[in-house]
Amino acid sequence: MARPALRVDAVLIQAVIAGALSFAHLHDLAAAAGQDGWKAWAYPVSVDLLLVAAWRRLRSDGPSRLAWCWFLVALFASLGANVATAGFLDLADPPAPLRLGIAGWPALAFLGGTLLAHSAGDRAPVPPAPAAPDPAPRADPEIEPEPAAVAEPEPAPVTPASDEPAPVRPAIDPAPRPAPPVPAALVDHARKVAADHQARTGAQIDTDTLRARLGVPAQLADTIAAHLA
């Protein structure tokens, strides 16, 4: 039981030593770039906090481009400070890009921390998957279902035939249509046509010829012929 406790303590001690060295390197680099006083101590705190926030986001919400991006930015800033203070740069006269990076770090760290802190709740909740419908019960192939009984149609009621014959309704003759009125001028013209026909042929004009010569309907031709008789 004591062995795991010693392992945990050794890991914590190693983490404290590494964090202190990285903290001191970031402080020395910020002080060399012109950030004196409390500002030089604030830089390592900002870098380490951004690194921890990105790592915590990766552990809680899973891998994402946002978390990996800011984790690599903070890791590059920490490793860069450790390498820069190892004698590769003249801290007495740091180059201009280093001064520019140290001066722009607060705005960059603020942007990263804001995105990591406030973008987790913006994700739309994933709706739960619909429950799978229950499979329909399968019928036993050995047991055949009984055929449904077909209802027989009921016989139609039979009306008893009556011995008396059905009454015969008398046919009603339609009322004769009145003859259409014939203008007197048309009757006179018909007389002339009939006289001309009799003078040429020697016979009285028939109804069909009269209708053809006058160009009137058959009923009207019959009426005119009755006037000529």
Q: Is the pTM of this model over 0.75?
A: no
Domain boundaries, the chain: 2-118, 184-228
**Tens digit of each residue's pLDDT (9 = 90 or more) over 99-126:** 888 888 888 888 888 888 887 544 544 5
The residue that leads in pLDDT, 165 or 77, is 77
Report DSSP letters for the chain, one per residue: -HHHHHHHHHHHHHHHHHHHHHHHHHHHHHHHTT--THHHHHHHHHHHHHHHHHHHHHHHH---HHHHHHHHHHHHHHHHHHHIIIIIS-TTS--HHHHHHHHHHHHHHHHHHHHHHHSSTTSPPPPPPPPPPPPPPPPPTTSPPPPPPPPPPPPPPPPPPPSSPPPPPPPPPPPPPPPPP--HHHHHHHHHHHHHHHHHHSSPPPHHHHHHHHT--HHHHHHHHHHH-
**Tens digit of each residue's pLDDT (9 = 90 or more) over 47-68:** 888 888 888 888 887 888 888 9
Q: Does residue 148 have a pLDDT over 50?
A: yes
**What is the average pLDDT value for the chain, to the nearest integer?**
74
pLDDT given at position 122: 46
pLDDT given at position 145: 54
pLDDT given at position 41: 86
pLDDT given at position 64: 85
Q: Does residue 139 have a pLDDT over 60?
A: no
pLDDT given at position 209: 84
Grade residue 138 by pLDDT with cuts at 50, 70 and 90: low
**Tens digit of each residue's pLDDT (9 = 90 or more) over 200-213:** 888 877 888 878 88
pLDDT given at position 37: 85
